[in-house]
Amino acid sequence: MPLLDIRNVTRRFGDFTAVDGVSLAIEAGEFFTLLGPSGCGKTTLLRMIAGFDLPDAGQILLDGVDLAATPPERRPVRTVFQSYALFPHMTVHGNVAFPLQMAGTPARDIPGKVAAALEDVRLTGFDRRYPHELSGGQKQRVAIARALVTHPTMLLLDEPLAALDAKLREELQIELIHLQREAGITFVYVTHDQTEALALSHRIAVMNKGKVEQLDEPSVIYRFPRSRFVADFIGQCNLFSGPIRANAAGAVTLDVEGLGAVKVAAQTALAAGAPASIALRPEQIRIGAGDAAAPADNRYEGTVADLLYMGDVTVYRVNTAGGARVEALLANSQTGRAKFFEPGDRVVVDWPAAAGHFIED
Amino acid sequence: MAADARRHEAARARWLVSGPPLLYLLVFFAAPTLIMVLASFRSPGEFGGLAPLRDDTGALDLNVDAYVRFFTETVYAQVFVKSLVFALVTTLVCLALAYPLAALIARSPKKSRDILLLLVILPFWSNFLIRIYAWMILLGPNAALARAVNGVLGWFGAGPVPLLFSSFAVLVCLVYVHLPFMVLPLYANLEKHDPALLDAAQDLGASAWQRFWRITFPLSLPGVYAGAALVFIPALGIFAIPDLLGGPDDTLIGNLIKQQFLETRDWPFGSVLSIVLTVSALALVGLAAWLGRGATRGAERVGA
């Protein structure tokens, strides 16, 4: 039995359906992420798990028990808020001790538990500080310590790192992974940041317009997006669409405007003429000067239109002869080379049929 | 050079802006206060007012007779204590009534807030004395309220009680007049509270009662203190309300001061009473601020 069972949950605000018949099962000890753009319903779903909002239809079961009648203060789940929501009139100690006091923990046990929780988030010695005396990262650590000190069954995190700068975010991501593993507590994490979701999660539910578009492990979601939306939302992606020209022996050929025939390895029941798409990650594309190119399944000539030099990699935007745009990514790891091409250079892009991922529209 | 000139300019602008109000306060507040302090050490004139500063022999006529009188004749201390009790009760009743109202306004949708606030300050649109006279009619013996109360009392065999010209009437009107001064600072404070804090407290296991006493109330203390000071200080010195609505026993320190200056015409003693009133009001507010200094720590940053 899953720890948290969300069954056909729907939540409407007037005419707007924020969460539309979502079903999910989250296992104990999992790091589970709800990923999607703003307005996709992920935060509404999280608030319903926490109890701040109730479903219009469907059920949320924790350990097999329907939570509908349980108010937030009696649910064994804790939330870490994006704004930290630390109590400004209490010290760090007062903040972390608060849930223990609410749970009726004997006063003599509180200091030890608070100290242990602060040690877990590497904030030993900060007990007497007030929230306004802490940095953003420290505040978020206090919020996490406060949520974990009572050892809840489940921790809900609502974009907890969104307000922090990139460097600190990466550091805290690693700490979150460690904390989750060591505490053994189920994390349900809400974010709109796909790299964060890919880095942290055991499983990701990609949400769009109130529905779950795909639920899988990060690598599967990245490599085999089920829809155009998922392909586009997760990482950089070239999306080629058009009617099917041929479908035979595990290879599908699409008629793409600006490119012509594009071949992809796929099994589908779709007949010729049906619309479909191919998702292709920029790093799967080979880009060369076209002099000694090996024969490939898909090969197009073009000109470099723009490039984005990112230090470790460079993203090239190539306009093909037919007028399509292809984004290719090249690692700058080869010695002696910073960039390989300049805007205006004539290049050849190619990729094998197996590199792309076929999506039925 | 150029920077110095700019700084100079800025300093002059500051004085230009803050000068007039400063001057106004000096002339019309500090100077009269000093005159009053001086008057409290002089002798009363034979026909009221003040006796000449130098007596017939040409010696300075300064004494502490009026102070001695205040501290030896217990009747004045009694009036003073009674005023303190009335002001304190007024403050507490105002707080109890204003808190839910301020919280309601702070939590209502933005559009209706302005209308609700307007309603709170609406009484100020009519004259203070007219509003007190209105209470004379409302509490009068032939008004519906007095009839209803005495009707119920009659059922239990208790004699009719007058509502007007009583401590009750004074307190009701004191609360009525001062309520907006408690509502406004409380509203200004509560309106800044981050609703996420209450969500967090609830999430961490706090019941509605615990959320109020552990989060909302401590964070609202700066507003509570501001409101309490705005109610307590004027309520302590008021004379019009007990004059018009109180009975013979409802003389407060404000009435006493008014009597000394206008009726008995004993200016030195009136000055002593005024000074004691001012000093004790300052001392009490200072004491409250000192006692509350720990409690409001961090609470000023509600909006941060």
Q: Assign residue A149 the CATH number of its domain.
A: 3.40.50.300
Residues A37 and A88 in one domain: yes
Separation of CA A252 from chain center: 30
pLDDT tens profile A80-133: 998 999 999 999 999 999 999 999 999 999 999 999 999 999 999 999 999 999
Q: How far is B209 from chain A (nearest CA, A)?
A: 11
What average pLDDT score do residues B132-145 get?
Answer: 86
Residue A151 touches partner B, C-beta closer than 8 Å = no
Q: Provide residues of B within 8 Å CB-CB of chain A.
A: 194, 196-197, 199-207, 210, 214-215, 218-219, 295-299, 301-302, 304
pLDDT tens profile B66-122: 899 988 988 888 999 999 999 999 999 999 999 999 999 999 998 899 999 999 988
Set of chain A residues whose Cβ sits within 8 Å of the Cβ of B218:
89
Set of chain A residues whose Cβ sits within 8 Å of the Cβ of B206:
73, 98, 102
* CA A201, A207, A212, A216 torsion-angle sign: negative
Residues A261 and A319 in one domain: yes
Set of chain B residues whose Cβ sits within 8 Å of the Cβ of A102:
204-206, 210
Contact A132 B304 (CB under 8 A): yes
Residue A352 touches partner B, C-beta closer than 8 Å = no
Residue ranges in chain A modelled with pLDDT below 70:
290-295, 334-339
Residues A243 and A226 in one domain: no
Residues A26 and A152 in one domain: yes
Contact B199 A81 (CB under 8 A): yes
Domain boundary residue among A181, A211, A231?
A231
Domain boundary residue among A231, A251, A282?
A231
- Is B296 contained in some domain? yes
Dist CA A283 CA A300 (whole Å): 16
Dist CA A326 CA A302 (whole Å): 9
- Beta-carbon contacts of residue A135 (< 8 Å; ≥ 6 apart): none
CB B201 within 8 A of CB B215: yes
Contact B199 A79 (CB under 8 A): yes
Pick the range with the lowest mean pLDDT from A18-32, A52-66, B134-148, B281-295.
Answer: B281-295
Residue A163 touches partner B, C-beta closer than 8 Å = no
Residues A227 and A97 in one domain: yes
pLDDT at B304 over 60: no
Look at residue B248 in the predicted model and tell me its pLDDT. 83
Model ipTM value? 0.84
Dist CA A196 CA A217 (whole Å): 14
Contact B197 A87 (CB under 8 A): yes
Q: What are the start-end ranges of the E strands in chain A? A: 4-13, 16-26, 31-35, 57-62, 65-66, 77-80, 154-158, 186-191, 203-208, 211-216, 238-248, 251-256, 260-265, 275-280, 286-288, 298-309, 313-320, 325-331, 346-351, 357-360
pLDDT tens profile B90-100: 999 999 999 99
Average pLDDT, chain B: 88
- Is B64 contained in some domain? no
Domain boundary residue among A202, A231, A260?
A231
Residues A244 and A220 in one domain: no
- Alpha carbons within 13 angstroms on the beta-carbon side of residue B94 total 31
Set of chain A residues whose Cβ sits within 8 Å of the Cβ of B304:
88, 132
Residue A128 touches partner B, C-beta closer than 8 Å = no
CB A143 within 8 A of CB A84: yes
The residue range of the domain holding A300 is 236-360
Contact A132 B219 (CB under 8 A): no
- Is B22 contained in some domain? no
Contact B203 A130 (CB under 8 A): no
- Beta-carbon contacts of residue B53 (< 8 Å; ≥ 6 apart): B42, B60, B61
Set of chain A residues whose Cβ sits within 8 Å of the Cβ of B301:
88, 132
Cβ-Cβ pairs closer than 8 A, A with B, add up to: 73
**Of B250, B253, B266, B189, whose CA–CA distance to B222 is shortest?**
B189
Set of chain B residues whose Cβ sits within 8 Å of the Cβ of A86:
200
CB A155 within 8 A of CB A33: no
Q: What is the CATH number of the domain that holds A257?
A: 2.40.50.100
Contact B200 A89 (CB under 8 A): no
What average pLDDT score do residues B232-236 get?
Answer: 91
Dist CA A255 CA A278 (whole Å): 11
Report the domain count for chain B.
Answer: 1
Residues A184 and A212 in one domain: yes
Set of chain A residues whose Cβ sits within 8 Å of the Cβ of B215:
87
Report the domain count for chain A.
Answer: 2
Q: What is the CATH number of the domain that holds B132?
A: 1.10.3720.10
Closest A-chain CA to B221: A89
The residue range of the domain holding B115 is 74-301
Give the SS3 label for residue A245: strand
Contact B204 A102 (CB under 8 A): yes
Set of chain A residues whose Cβ sits within 8 Å of the Cβ of B223:
none
Facing residue for A79 by CB, picked from B203, B298, B299:
B203
pLDDT tens profile B39-64: 999 988 888 788 888 877 878 888 88
